[in-house]
Amino acid sequence: QVQLVESGGGVVQPGRSLRLSCAASGFTFNAYGMHWVRQAPGKGLEWVAVIWFDGSDKYYVDSVKGRFTISRDNSKKTLYLQMNSLRVEDTAVYYCARESLKGAKDFDYWGRGALVTVSS
Amino acid sequence: EIVLTQSPGTLSLSPGERATLSCRASQNIDSDYLNWYQQKPGQAPRLLIYGASSRATGIPDRFSGSGSGTDFTLTISRLEPEDFAVYYCQQYDDSLTWTFGQGTKVEIK
C-alpha cells in the first residue's frame, strides 16, 4: 500500500533552518511528481512546492521562494524540503503529497504531516 | 493569481440531510483541474473528487461534484455521521501553481 512518512519537524528559532524528509513506499516513486502542502494551526491548506518526477523542474509558492528548496532522491525514494531563514509565519504542519497520474493535478495520497514550529 | 472562494464558511446540518458546498474561482479555470478534499480533525486531507466530477477510488456515491468556468459544487446527497468534516476545493493553473479554497466546515446541527 502507498505510504508517505514525513520526519524532521520540530521547534526552531526564527532565521534558522530545518530539513523535512518524506519517505515513500508502496509505489514507483520515480514516476510521480511530489509536493509539499502546509497547514498553519487552525487554518486552511496552502500548497508550498512541487518537484517533477525526475527532479528536472521545481516550483514554489511566492512566500517561500528563495528560502525553501524542494528536492528528491529517487534511489532512496525520499522527498525533501530544505527550509532556510524560517519565519514565525512558516509555523505549520507540513504534508508531503503525491500528484496522481490521472492528469487532474490532484493529490491522491498524503502523509500524516510533520509539525514545524518557528518561535523564539 | 486565481483565488478560490468557498461558501458557506460553515454548514450546520443533520445526518440524512443534503449538503451543497460552493467553490467560486476569481477567473475561469479548467474543470479538469478542479478537485475536492475532505479533512477530519488531526488527519491528512483525503481526495474525494477530481476533474470536477469524478469520484476518487473508494469514495461513496453520495458524494458528487459538478460545475464549470468559475462555479463548482460539491454535493453530499445524504449526510452520514462520518461526513462531518472540513472540505476544500483545489485548482491548478498554467502559472504552475496549485491553490486551495479556504474550506467549508460541515458540522452537526
Query: In this complex, which of A37, A59, A104 lies closest to B50 when CB atoms are compared?
Result: A104
Residues of A in contact with B39 (CB under 8 A): 45
User: pLDDT category, A51, cuts 50, 70, 90?
Assistant: very high
List the grid coordinates of B14: 443533520
* Coil vs helix vs strand at B82: helix
**Segment A56-93, tens digit of pLDDT:** 999 999 999 999 999 999 999 999 999 999 999 999 99
B61 falls in which pLDDT band (50, 70, 90)? very high
Name residue B39's amino acid: Q
**Cα separations (Å) of A41 from A91, A96, B36?**
8, 17, 21
Kindly report the average pLDDT of chain B as a whole number: 97
Chain B neighbors of A70, CB-CB under 8 A: none
- CB-CB contact of A117 with A14 (8 Å): no
* Cell triple for B87: 472540505
Assess B32–A contact: CB distance below 8 Å, yes or no: yes
Instruction: Write out the three cell numbers for B74.
Output: 460539491
Q: Looking at the complex, does the CB of residue B55 fall below 8 Å from at least one CB of chain A?
A: no
Distance from CA of A63 to the nearest CA of B (A): 12
Q: pLDDT averaged over chain A?
A: 98
Q: Residue B55 corresponds to which cell in the numbers above?
A: 469520484
CA distance linking residue A5 with residue B97, whole number of Å = 24
C-alpha–C-alpha distance, residues A84 and A36, integer Å: 15
Nearest-angstrom CA–CA distance, B109 and B23: 22
Q: Does B44 touch chain A (CB under 8 A)?
A: yes
CA distances from A96 to A37, A62, A64 (A): 6, 18, 16
Q: Chain A residue closest to B9 (CA)?
A: A44
Q: Pick from A73, A74, A6: which is nearest to A38 by CA?
A: A6
- Of chain B, the percentage scoring pLDDT greater than 70 comes to 100
Q: A6-41 pLDDT, tens per residue?
A: 999 999 999 999 999 999 999 999 999 999 999 999
Whether the predicted pLDDT of B94 surpasses 90: no
Positive or negative, the Cα torsion across B94, B23, B15, B54? negative
Task: For residue B92, list chain A residues with Cβ-Cβ distance below 8 A.
Answer: 105
Q: Which residues of A touch B (CB under 8 A)?
A: 35, 37, 44-47, 50, 59, 61, 95, 100, 102-108, 110-113
Burial of B104 per CB tally in 10 Å (0-12, 13-18, 19+): buried
Of A47, A61, A107, the CB nearest to B47: A107
